[in-house]
A = this chain, B = another copy of it.
Amino acid sequence: MSDPAGWQDRRVLVTGGLGFIGSNLARRLVGLGAQVTLVDSMIPAYGGNLRNVAGIEQRVRINISDVRDRHSLRYLVKDADVLFNLAGQTSHQDSMTDPGADLEINCAAQLSILETCRAHNPGVKTVFASTRQIYGKPDYLPVDEKHPLRPADVNGINKMAGEQYHVLYNNVYGLRSCALRLTNTYGPGMRIRDARQTFLGIWVRLALEGKPFEVWGGAQLRDFNFVDDVVDALLLAAQSDATDGQIYNLGDSEVLSLREVAELLLQANGGGEYVVREFPQERKRIDIGDYYADFSRFSALGWAPRVPLREGLARTLGYYRENLPHYL
């Protein structure tokens, strides 16, 4: 096959590789001929799920280990050409009830990964999955990369530190790294057992089970990226030298209220229902109101999201209709 992107035989390490985004990335990389190693801790509350790599199990190397474990990480990282650093604790609420665990994964382990790369593989290029969460409640919309960082929960603070370590190690040590601040990402492979990864997960599940799902608030505006578009972005970020030391928003020009998203989901599902609820008190304290991104900085590199929400939801529902038992 032609290999314009140059992934053929490249050695790629993906932390959080059995998770939602990591596994979709792995599938794409395998198709492009890369040698892919997936590192995942399979912590039950996180996103790892072997079903996510169904059909490519024999074409990737799966390594169950925790990124907090320096020794295994050193071995795994040393030969990688590219590191997609996607391992993370994603639940905002869990970060408030167990802030120490969130700090270990999203902050301490990131520093440890970077130190390991610096010592054992300083030539690796790293792409870090950051999050819009670190902006907190926006001062203005759309939110660009210059927006002040005022994280509204412990998860946001730790992700902010994790991201900044990557930029710092690029700038100080020349350890080539960049960060993408992801917005709400959805698609096949996302966690649907609960809302730990995205509220869309539990919505999809309940819609498929014929049960009403809850919309908290409903008027909040959001943008969404289908996972294939995020995979495009990760690959582009890894391939470009221009991204070294840089931070970019992802996002989508399609901006909807949560209630509109709920309607779209039910249309795509061919029926179902939802109930609009007041924000639960413990969530209200960490909610950020409206958010959507200015992603023109990353678009300038040649990225554009291609999957409209309506289509993405239909593909997501189709996937879980066939795979539901593996995700409960």
Given contacts A152-B168, A157-B161, 9 further A-B contacts (CB under 8 A): A100-B115, A107-B108, A107-B161, A152-B171, A152-B172, A153-B168, A153-B172, A161-B161, A172-B285
> Taking chain A's interface residues, is the majority helix, strand, or loop, or is none over half, making it mixed?
helix
Contact with A168, one of B107, B115, B157 (Cβ below 8 angstroms): B157
A112 at the interface (CB under 8 A from B): yes
| Per-residue contact bits, chain A 129-166, to B (CB 8 Å; 1 contact, 0 not) | 00000000000000000101111111001101100110
| Per-residue contact bits, chain A 210-232, to B (CB 8 Å; 1 contact, 0 not) | 00000000000000000000000
CB distance from A130 to the nearest CB of B (A): 13
CB pair B149 A154 closer than 8 Å: no
Residues of chain A touching chain B, judged by Cβ–Cβ distance below 8 Å, are: 96, 99-100, 103, 107-108, 111-112, 115, 146, 148-154, 157-158, 160-161, 164-165, 167-168, 171-172, 285-286
Residue of B nearest to A145 (CB): B148
CB pair A286 B154 closer than 8 Å: no
Residue of B nearest to A114 (CB): B99
> How far, in angstroms, from A100 to B109 measured CA to CA in the complex?
10
A99 proximity list for chain B (CB < 8 A): 111, 115
CB pair B148 A168 closer than 8 Å: no
A153-B172, A168-B151 as given contacts; A103 in contact with B96, CB under 8 Å: no
Q: Show 25 residue pairs from A and B whose CB-CB distance is below 8 angstroms, ordered by the A residue.
A: A100-B108, A100-B111, A100-B112, A100-B115, A103-B108, A103-B111, A107-B107, A108-B108, A146-B148, A150-B164, A150-B167, A151-B164, A152-B168, A152-B171, A152-B172, A153-B168, A153-B172, A154-B165, A154-B168, A157-B161, A157-B164, A157-B165, A158-B161, A171-B285, A172-B285
> How far, in angstroms, from A153 to B146 measured CA to CA in the complex?
20
> How far, in angstroms, from A153 to B152 measured CA to CA in the complex?
24
Residue of A99, A152, A165 contacting most chain B CB atoms (<10 Å): A99
> How far, in angstroms, from A177 to B171 measured CA to CA in the complex?
33
A161 proximity list for chain B (CB < 8 A): 107, 157-158, 160-161
